[in-house]
Amino acid sequence: QVVWRKVLCESEITPAIMEKVQQALMREGFNPGPTDGIIGRATSAAIEAFQIDRNLETGSLTVETLKSLGVDG
């Protein structure tokens, strides 16, 4: 079964958006490491943990994940 999901491409994931994602993850109880706008290991792990917790698709930063975090993309 093919499932389409809207994801952000690399050029859309700016440091400013990542800082918002990191702040939202902290607010939701998922530690993304430093709030520095960089997608490091801790941030990637926190995004995946959030997605699993919220029963969202994993593997990339989706628009649905941003909406669930309350971040405008």
Q: Rounded to two decimals, what is the model's pTM?
A: 0.87
- Tokens 């997605």 belong to 51
pLDDT of residue 64: 93
Q: Which residue has the higher pLDDT, 24 or 72?
A: 24
Q: Is the per-residue pLDDT at 12 higher than 90?
A: no
Confidence of residue 1 (pLDDT cuts 50, 70, 90): confident
CA–CA separation, 34 vs 72, rounded Å? Answer: 20
pLDDT score, position 52: 97
Sign of CA dihedral 13, 15, 51, 72: negative
Distance CA 23, CA 34 (A): 9
pLDDT in tens, 24-67: 999 999 999 999 999 999 999 999 999 999 999 998 888 999 99
Calpha distance 2→18 (Å, rounded):
28
